[in-house]
Structures are given as C-alpha cells and as structure tokens.
C-alpha cells in the first residue's frame, strides 16, 4: 500500500463548480498534513495545512479524519486559476535533526473549464 494515495484524476470541472479531492495515508502515527498545489513544470506551493478540527481559507476547506486516515480538500466557486495538480502531503517519521520528513501523494490533476 502506498504511504499516501490520491485519485490521479484528471478532474475536468466547469468554472464556478465545487470540487472535492480525497487522500488516504497509511501511517497512523502521522501528525502533520498539508495540501500543496503544483503548476505544470513548477515547484509545489503550500496551499494550506490541515488541522484536526478542519480549517477553511477563503474558497478552500480542508478536513482531516484520523480514524479513517483520510484527508479532503474542497474548492468552492472554482476559478480558471485553480487549474493545477493538488498534492496531498503527510509527515512520515522524524529526521535525525528533529524535523519532519514529508511524503507526497502523486497528485490529483484539476482542470477548470470556462
């Protein structure tokens, strides 16, 4: 089983629609969770951290279900600029210097259609 699994998509969604992505992780000891977005041939950029209570940032809402080891991202009122690959990222283990090592899912590709 992969450490972090995502539906690769692609998701082709009309502008203004709501879209949801899911992600599952295998290590029950994971503590930190993130969503990054990656544009074609660019570096990943942090979209938002995911907190146990769930959190919202504008049109974006992230949820965490520890019991099911499941993370979600909801995008409301989608814009053309939301087209990107969305990466689910989970911490796995602790490096020698106490910093967390991150494991990335393969990403879900989203295309917003005008």
Partner 1 sequence: GAVVSQHPSRVICKSGTSVKIECRSLDFQATTMFWYRQFPKQSLMLMATSNEGSKATYEQGVEKDKFLINHASLTLSTLTVTSAHPEDSSFYICSVYSGVGYEQYFGPGTRLTVT
Q: Under the rule (CB under 8 A), what is the footprint of partner 1?
A: 4, 32, 34, 41-46, 49, 87, 91, 95-97, 99-107
Read off the tokens for 105: 């899912």
Nearer to partner 1, 75 or 87 (CB): 87
Asked if residue 58 lies in contact with residue 34, where contact means CB atoms within 8 angstroms, the answer is no
> What is the maximum alpha-carbon separation in the chain?
48
CB of 102 to partner 1, least distance (A): 6
Asked if residue 49 lies in contact with residue 73, where contact means CB atoms within 8 angstroms, the answer is no
Nearer to partner 1, 61 or 91 (CB): 91
CB of 43 to partner 1, least distance (A): 4
């Amino acid at each position: 089983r992969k450490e972090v699994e995502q539906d690769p998509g692609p998701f082709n969604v009309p502008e203004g629609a709501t879209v949801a992505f899911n992600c599952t992780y295998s290590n029950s000891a994971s503590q930190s969770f993130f969503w990054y977005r990656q544009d074609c041939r660019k570096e990943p950029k942090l979209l938002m951290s995911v907190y146990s209570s769930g959190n919202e940032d504008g049109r974006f809402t992230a949820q965490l279900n520890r019991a099911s080891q499941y993370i979600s991202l909801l995008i409301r009122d989608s814009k053309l600029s939301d087209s990107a690959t969305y990466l689910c990222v989970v911490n796995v283990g602790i490096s020698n210097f106490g910093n967390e090592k991150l494991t990335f899912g393969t990403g879900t590709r989203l295309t917003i259609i005008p």
